[in-house]
Structure 1
Amino acid sequence: MLCGVGCKKEVADPDSSNPNVLPSLTHEGKNTFGCLVNGEVWVAYRSYKVGGGVSLDGYYDSQTKYFQLVASRRVEDENRFESIKLLLDSLTSDGVYNMRVNHLSTKGLTDYLGNYNCSRYYYDTTLVHQVSIETFLPEQGIISGTFEMDLINPSCPGDTIKIREGRFDWRMTVY
C-alpha cells in the first residue's frame, strides 16, 4: 500500500479493543470491525456498561443465506455514537459478494449525535459495493472479510462518506 507524506495508520494487536486503532485482519471470530471513514480510523467499540449495547450485532440465516452485520461505535469522551451496516444476499461460501442495496433505503452509516453533515448516509446506487468474504465457517460460527464503499445523502449534495480498508472478523449467530 502506498501512503502520502504524513499518512499514519496504526494496526492493533488482534486482541486490542482500542477504539482509535484499526484492528488486524483475523479469521478466528474475534468480533472485530474497523475501517477508515474519510481517512479516519473507525472501530466498532462501546465502553462497557451494564445493560449497554454491543459493538457488533447481526445474523446469518442458513436457509435464506441472508447476512447482516451492524457495527456500532460509541465513544463518550468524543461525543460519538455511529453505526455501519453490511448486508449480503445468497452468502454460501468464501468469495466476493455485491452488497444488498436498495435505492436510498439501505443505510450504510448512521450518525446519532450529529458529527457528520447528515445523520444518515446511504449506499450510492450508481456504484458497486462489494464485500470479500475470506472466511466462511458456519459450522464454527465464523465469518470474516474486507469491504469498501461510498455512501451519500441526497439532502447533503456533494457530501460523500468514503469507507476504505474495511475488515471484520465476527463470531456469527446462525439461525
Structure 2
Amino acid sequence: MRKLFLYAALLLLSQCSKCKDNDPSPEARLPPVTQTGANTFGCLVNGEAWTPQGNDGTANYTVSYDLFPSGGIINISTYRIYGQGANDFQTISVWAKGIQGVGTFYFANSSSAAAGFLNRKTNCYWSSTDSAVTYRRGNLTITRLDLQAGIVSGTFDFTLYKPGCDSIRVTQGRFDKKL
C-alpha cells in the first residue's frame, strides 16, 4: 500500500510539472507591441502579466492627449479588478507633458512625466512624484503620435520604492490606443 501511495504521488508531481511547462510565459500573456490603434495595454508587474480587466462602471483603460502650444499632455490610466473583494483592485497611471511627437520622457525627479501604481489589497500607492518614494526610475517612450489617424502608441517601464511598501517593478509596458 505504501508503494502505491508513493507511485501515485510521483505520478501527480510529474503531471504538474508537465502542465507548468505548457503554461505560457508572463511575456506571452501580454498583447503584442503595435502601432495601429489596437486599443491594447499590458505590462509585467513584478514579473507577472498585467492587463486591464473588470468593470467598475467606467472604462478600465483610457488614453487622452490634449494639444497645447508648448506641447501636448498624455494621460494613460487603467485598472484591473482581479477578484470578488472590494480590495481586489489595482491601477496604473502614466502621464507626460511637453509632447510634440515621438520621444522618451523620464520619471526620475521629473516634473514633466510621472508614473503611479495603486494596490488596494496592500493599501500601497506608489507615485514617482511622491516625496515618500525614495527610489524612482523609468520612462515613457512615445513611438507613434499620429493626430490625423488618431493613434498614440508607446512603451514604458518604471521601478518605485516607498518605505512600508514593497518595490513595484513595471516592465515591458506597452500601449496602443485609438484616440
Matched, 1:162 2:169: yes
Mean alpha-carbon deviation: is it higher for 145-154 or for 69-78?
A: 69-78
Runs of 4+ in 1 over 3 A off after TM superposition: 76-79, 99-103, 124-128
- Aligned equivalent of 2:160: 151
Distance 1:107 1:169, change over 3 A: closer
Q: 2:66 — aligned with what?
A: 61
Q: For 1:74, give the aligned amino acid.
A: I
Superposition deviation, residue 125 in structure 1: 6.3
* Counterpart code for 1:76: G
Q: CA RMSD for the aligned pairs?
A: 2.7
The structure-2 alpha-carbon separation of the partners of 1:93 and 1:125, relative to structure 1 and needing over 3 Å to count, comes to farther
Match of 2:106 among 60, 82, 98: 98
Q: Count residues with an aligned counterpart.
A: 148
Whether the 8 Å CA contact 2:43–2:171 is kept in 1: the answer is yes
Contact 1:88 1:100 in 2 (8 A): no
Which has the larger share of helix?
2
Task: Please say if 1:135 is aligned against 2:152.
Answer: no
Q: Deviations over 1:120-140 (max 9, x none)?
A: 112256544211111111222
Q: Which residue in the other structure is 1:30 paired with?
A: 38
Provide closer, same or farther for how the CA distance between residues 125 and 66 of structure 1 changes in structure 2, counting only shifts above 3 A: farther
> Which of structures 1 and 2 has the bigger CA Rg?
2
Determine the C-alpha separation between the residues in 1 that align with 2:172 and 2:88: 21
Give 2:76's aligned amino acid: L
Q: How high is the TM-score relative to the length of structure 2?
A: 0.70
Give the equivalent residue in structure 2 for 1:70.
77
Contact 1:30-1:170 within 8 A present in 2 as well? yes
Q: Percent identity, aligned pairs only?
A: 28
Uncovered stretches (5+) of structure 2, i.e. residues with no partner:
1-20
User: Where does the alignment leave 5 or more consecutive residues of structure 1 unmatched?
Assistant: 1-5, 12-20
For residues 40 and 162 of structure 1, the distance between their equivalents in structure 2, rounded to whole angstroms, comes to: 10
